[in-house]
Amino acid sequence: MELAYWIIAGLLAVFYLYAGGKKVTQCQEQLQPMMGWVDTVPMPLVRTIGVLEILGAAGLILPPLTGIATWLAVAAAIGLVLVQVGGAALHLSRGEARQIGLNIVLLATAAVTAWLGIAWL
C-alpha cells in the first residue's frame, strides 16, 4: 500500500505542480493554446485554481513525508477530486464533452490516492 501510494501520489503531485504552476505564472494568452477555457474564466479564478493545485500537490507529499498531520494527504487528494469535478463540469457547460477524458483520469487517480492514503496512513 505504501509503495502504491508514493508512486501514484508522486505522479499526481508532479502533474499538479506543473499545471498549477502554469496557471499561477502565465498570462491568459500563454495559457490559451493549452487551456482553451481560460478565455471564459476570470484570471483571478484561474490563479486560484492554480494555487489550489499546487497546495494539493504539496499536501499529497509533505504530510506523509514528515509524518506530521498525515490526514492532510487524504484531504488533499479529496480536494483534487473536487477540482476535477469542477473541471469536468466546466467542460460540459462549454459543450466540450470530448475534453473531459483527462479530468476523469485525474479524478479517478486522486480518488485512488485518497483510498490508499486512508488504508495506509
**Among the residues of 26-100, which ranges form H helices?**
28-31, 43-66, 71-93
Rounded-to-integer distance, Cα 15 and Cα 8, Å? 11
pLDDT of 24-70, one tens digit each? 999 999 999 999 999 999 999 999 999 999 999 999 999 999 999 99
Whether the predicted model's global pTM rises above the 0.85 cut = yes
Contact, 84 vs 52, CB < 8 A? no
pLDDT value at residue 51: 98
- The maximal CA–CA distance of the chain, rounded, in angstroms, is 43
